[in-house]
Amino acid sequence: MISQSTADELNVLFAAELSNAASNKKPAKWPCLLPQRIIGEYRITPLTSGRMLKSEGYLMNNCCRDYIRQCENLEYCIFSVRSLTGKRVATLGIAIAQGHWVFDQCYGPSNTDVLEETYEYLDEDELIQVDWRQTELYYAVHEVVRLMNFKGNISRSEHGN
């Protein structure tokens, strides 16, 4: 059972959607070159409607709902990155720049860093050192960018562009 405050937040979040439905406006949807897929240990789901972005923004406590216009104009693409069991892990945003998709941002819940992790070790002088390395998620989200560009090249070549 959800709390009253959560129910109130959800009501506010979807108020615009309800008013659109009352006035017979269709909710915004747009295409994505890359369908849902599994990459490594992650299920990558393209978010292709205003409702999907609002839901992701609420559940991940981020601002992806602010990108609806750019997504509708196919200038930006947002993906929900989830574990194979369906748990939301991160939200990935990629942008179009000079005709190619480029990595823009990827954050976990409440904009936590999920692409790098720190680790400590003792160096040869037995001093504690702190370093960082990319996580497995780092490589998965960059594979999404690569696949988007690959799919875009296939689409352009199929259309003679």
Q: What is the pLDDT of residues 14-47, one digit of tens each?
A: 665 555 555 545 557 999 999 999 999 999 999 9
Provide the terminal-to-terminal Cα distance of the chain, rounded to the nearest Å.
53
Count, residues in the chain = 161
In this prediction, residue 59 has a pLDDT band, given cuts at 50, 70 and 90, of very high
Question: pLDDT digits over 98-128, tens only?
Answer: 999 999 999 999 999 999 888 888 889 988 9
Comparison of pLDDT for 9 and 50, the residue scoring more = 50
pTM of this prediction?
0.75
Asked if residue 106 lies in contact with residue 115, where contact means CB atoms within 8 angstroms, the answer is yes
Above 80 in pLDDT, residue 82?
yes
d(CA 105, CA 111): 10
| Structure tokens, 137 | 């998620």
CA distances from 111 to 53, 62, 90, 115 (A): 15, 6, 8, 11
Q: What is the DSSP letter of 27?
A: P
Residue 80: HSE in the Cβ half-sphere, 13 Å Cα cutoff = 23
In this prediction, residue 159 has a pLDDT band, given cuts at 50, 70 and 90, of very low
The confidence score (pLDDT) of residue 5 equals 66
In this prediction, residue 48 has a pLDDT band, given cuts at 50, 70 and 90, of very high
| Nearest Cα to Cα of residue 64 among 12, 107, 114, 23 | 107
Asked if residue 31 lies in contact with residue 77, where contact means CB atoms within 8 angstroms, the answer is no
